[in-house]
Chains A and B, each alone.
Chain A
Amino acid sequence: MTTSSDLATDTLRGNFVLLVADGLSLLLPQHEVGAAEYLGDTLEAADEAGLFKLAGTADQRRFAALSAQMTLLPVFPSGRFLVTTLSGEDREISWCWNELRVLINVELPLHPLPQVMLAADTPVSHYVELDGKLAWPCNAKQMSAFALAERGVR
């Protein structure tokens, strides 16, 4: 099945992955989310602000954890033990989550955010209600570009 969001009919249809980072729930198209890994090792701050690396190894991967405002957290939070890469990014980052859930063949009403709330650079323009909570559909490239551009809690 093709994964797509149909904004014209206000319905989100297809296969998505729900990525939860504490107060932030993102819905990304399934084909943009790489296989999940378990993070069992300790991270430490990398040279670049907001990015982390595996402590005591030569591993070149860089890890990131998002805040509820979709910005990079300066201190790595506890509980982010699930790691995925995302496609379409300009550089590969390993993103760390509390929870990850694959949603197959979903059909969810898509609600536009009021225009007065939208920033010019926001990657989020709609929301869906999922299990009584709000989740934010977006794509990996926009999400990553926004988070990396902000570099800090908004």
Chain B
Amino acid sequence: MSFEHSALIPRAAARLAEYAPGRTIALPPHTTFALLEQPVVFEVPGAARHACGLLSWRDMRLPLLDLNRLLHGEVDEEYIRVPRFAQVVAWQPAPYWPLQYGALGLSSMPQTIVVEDESQCALPEDNARWTLFALSCFQHEGQVIPVLDTARLFGAAGARKIL
């Protein structure tokens, strides 16, 4: 029976996050925290080009990153200064270490979906940078969606490799 069959298929939740129009990554739900609309961002002089600035959240100042610039080298000055949304994410430098936080600029509200294991696919081959930051990849509604590893992204090594 189809119902019994589908209950046996391994599946997991994923948070779809559009970081630029038509460009989407997935985040493991346990890494996502607050979503801030029209975030207040402090510009950082001389910062890396993919860094929008520092975001205030819970008495902390978090790095807010522009994935479009980081992954594709593309610049939308207006978007970089004020992303519409900031998604606060957590990462751990190593197992059992305290959580660290960062934020990603998004162009629309994230959406939670359920992904079946059989949707898994290869990382896009048109951009070698995915191998630095993505855990895996799946297909959703005809689109290839890389799953972002927040520790690789916010741990300094990954991002600095491509500066």
Could you say which residues of chain B place their CB within 8 Å of the CB of A154?
A: 46, 49
Q: Of A115, A121, A124, which contacts B44 at CB under 8 A?
A: A124
Say if the beta carbon of B34 comes within 8 Å of chain A. no
Could you say which residues of chain B place their CB within 8 Å of the CB of A120?
A: 163
Chain A 111-154 interface residues, beta-carbon cutoff 8 Å to B: 111, 113-124, 127, 134, 136, 146, 154
Contact B159–A116 (Cβ < 8 Å) = yes
Say if the beta carbon of B106 comes within 8 Å of chain A. no
Could you say which residues of chain B place their CB within 8 Å of the CB of A122?
A: 45-48
Chain B 24-67 interface residues, beta-carbon cutoff 8 Å to A: 42-49, 51, 54, 61-63, 65
Could you say which residues of chain A place their CB within 8 Å of the CB of B146?
A: none
Contact B63–A114 (Cβ < 8 Å) = yes
Contact B46–A69 (Cβ < 8 Å) = yes
Per-residue CB contact flags for chain B residues 144-156 toward chain A (1 = under 8 Å, else 0) read 0000000001111
Expressed in whole angstroms, the Cα–Cα distance for A115 and B161 within the complex equals 12
Q: Of A111, A119, A123, which contacts B48 at CB under 8 A?
A: A119
How big is chain A's contact interface, by range?
20 to 34
Could you say which residues of chain B place their CB within 8 Å of the CB of A26?
A: 45
Expressed in whole angstroms, the minimum distance between the Cβ of B75 and any Cβ of chain A is 10
Contact A119–B49 (Cβ < 8 Å) = yes
Contact B159–A68 (Cβ < 8 Å) = no
How big is chain B's contact interface, by range?
20 to 34
Say if the beta carbon of B160 comes within 8 Å of chain A. yes
Could you say which residues of chain A place their CB within 8 Å of the CB of B155?
A: 116
Say if the beta carbon of A70 comes within 8 Å of chain B. yes
Contact A115–B156 (Cβ < 8 Å) = yes
Expressed in whole angstroms, the Cα–Cα distance for A118 and B156 within the complex equals 9
Contact B49–A134 (Cβ < 8 Å) = no
Expressed in whole angstroms, the minimum distance between the Cβ of B72 and any Cβ of chain A is 17
What are 6 sample pairs from A and B whose C-beta atoms fall under 8 A apart?
A116-B65, A116-B156, A116-B159, A119-B47, A136-B44, A146-B46
The 8 A-B residue pairs with the shortest CB-CB distance, nearest first, are: A115-B156, A70-B45, A122-B46, A117-B51, A114-B63, A119-B48, A116-B159, A117-B63
Which chain B residues have a beta carbon within 8 Å of chain A's beta carbons? 42-49, 51, 54, 61-63, 65, 102, 153-156, 159-160, 163
